[in-house]
Amino acid sequence: MIGNNRPECNLYPLQARLLKGELLRVVAERVELRGHTLRWLLSRIDQSRPYFLLGEVEMPDGRGPALTGRIDSVDSYNPASYRGGILRLQYARARELQSWLDLVAVRGEVIVQFWLKPGEAAVTLGVGEEREVERIPGQLRRFL
């Protein structure tokens, strides 16, 4: 964990029920996110396959301490919460990450879990789409 913060919520089941079904195989890959965005990471994942993101990433947005995804009720679950520049992911998917897709990570890593049914081929992260960002304005490029 990046900070020394306690978890936001500790939920423990009082009962459990097992359902018979297909066995799943979980394959996990650890990804260092420093210098990258979540959009970059998601571009490497086949969105048609079941996947989940777990971890903590420091990505300050310049607005100071923020609190998003606060747990106001024991009935709610937030796969992504952001507080004080730290984004915590707990089984998050692309649809929960829209607000943070283009923030660049200062540090942190994400574990990508793929859930595979019997007989499904192994999954790996793709190359990803690297986007070049023009940092020098066009009118100044002629002086280089």
Label residue 106 by pLDDT band (50, 70, 90).
very high
Label residue 144 by pLDDT band (50, 70, 90).
low
Q: Which of 116, 115, 105, 112 is nearest to 126 (CA)?
A: 112
Average pLDDT over the chain reads 79
Residue-wise pLDDT tens digits, 39-78? 999 999 988 889 999 999 998 875 544 444 444 455 567 8
Residue whose token pair is 């394959």: 27
